[in-house]
């Protein structure tokens, strides 16, 4: 687990309005996301990437031959993206008047703890996709909510520690994740809402979407198409 919504971060460098540390995300590599995305799309597809951050997934997708429009509400994040058109905007308010082969919503954004916010995110996806396009969504697995526990892992020289886990209400998990790289430390706290398949289908239907297929065996990645 790396990217999280509803963050409040502390650590070196700039912190975005939603609590992400720009310096941390600048050193965080992709973790298999580009391969999942590429396998789901035709070569050369146009991708609207929502919450693109510093481009850790944008740049690999560009290298794979996709055209990417990167959206983020942080100018400090977007300044680190090269080779893609960038748009400074919140996702909820985005209205480009354009439609794309793929709208990409990763980072467990759908698991925001505010159902109205999740609905606004999906509406933004729907109004920017072509009629024959796809929305690719990443969500926390249902089992993660059942089994969330303090853990520690290291990848690419970055150590991640999940701690302070609580369940403030049925279907919700709150936690803090601490990242360490060299002498730098970043801390982010978040609350995530459980989205099981029944809730997923309800949310997609409300946005005029439906599940086309799941892209991973654990159901954490899915492709949605117009209903």
Query: What are the φ/ψ torsions at residue 26 (nearest 5 degrees)?
Result: -70, -25
CATH value at residue 53: 3.40.50.150
Residue 189 lies in a domain: no
Strands 46-50 and 67-72: parallel
Residue 21 lies in a domain: no
Domain range enclosing 99: 29-142+195-226
CA torsion, ordered 161, 214, 60, 190, to nearest 10 deg: -30
Residue 161 lies in a domain: no
Closest CA to 83 of 105, 107, 61, 53: 61
Residue 156 lies in a domain: no
CB 4 within 8 A of CB 192: yes
pLDDT the model gives residue 24: 86
Residue 147 lies in a domain: no
Per-residue pLDDT of the chain in tens (227 residues, 90 and over written 9)? 333 333 444 444 666 666 677 888 888 889 999 999 999 999 999 999 999 999 999 999 999 999 999 999 999 999 999 999 999 999 999 999 999 999 999 999 999 999 999 999 999 999 999 999 999 999 999 999 999 999 999 998 999 999 999 999 999 999 999 999 988 899 989 999 999 999 999 999 999 999 999 999 999 999 999 99
pLDDT the model gives residue 1: 33
CB 29 within 8 A of CB 206: no
Residue 218 lies in a domain: yes
CB 145 within 8 A of CB 168: no
All residues at 6 or more sequence positions from 91 whose CB lies less than 8 Å from its CB, including other chains: 50, 51, 71, 73, 105, 109, 120, 121, 124
Residue 84 lies in a domain: yes
C-beta atoms surrounding 25 within 10 Å:
23
CA of 225: how far to CAs of 12, 80, 133, in Å? Answer: 40, 31, 6
Domain count, the chain: 1
CB 121 within 8 A of CB 66: no
d(CA 207, CA 63): 32
Residue 186 lies in a domain: no
CB 125 within 8 A of CB 103: yes
């Amino acid at each position: 687990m790396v990217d999280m919504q509803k963050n409040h971060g502390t650590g070196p460098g700039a912190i975005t309005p939603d609590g992400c540390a720009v310096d941390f995300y600048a050193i965080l590599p992709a973790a298999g996301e580009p391969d999942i995305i590429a396998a789901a799309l035709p070569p050369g597809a146009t991708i609207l990437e929502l919450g693109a951050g510093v481009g850790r997934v944008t740049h690999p997708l560009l290298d794979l031959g996709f055209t990417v429009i990167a959206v983020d509400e942080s100018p400090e994040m977007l300044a680190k993206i090269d080779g893609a058109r960038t748009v400074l905007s919140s996702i909820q308010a985005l209205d480009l008047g354009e439609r794309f082969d793929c709208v990409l919503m990763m980072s467990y954004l759908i698991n925001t703890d505010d159902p109205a916010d999740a609905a606004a995110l999906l509406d933004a996806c729907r109004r920017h996709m072509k009629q024959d396009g796809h929305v690719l969504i990443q969500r926390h697995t249902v089992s993660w909510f059942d089994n969330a526990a303090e853990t520690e892992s290291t990848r690419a020289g970055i150590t991640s520690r999940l701690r302070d886990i609580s369940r403030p209400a049925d279907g919700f998990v709150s936690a803090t994740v601490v990242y360490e790289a060299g002498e730098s430390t970043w801390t982010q706290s978040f609350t995530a809402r459980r989205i099981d398949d029944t809730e997923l289908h309800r949310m997609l239907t409300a946005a005029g979407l439906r599940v086309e297929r799941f892209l991973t065996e654990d159901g954490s990645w899915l492709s949605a198409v117009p209903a």
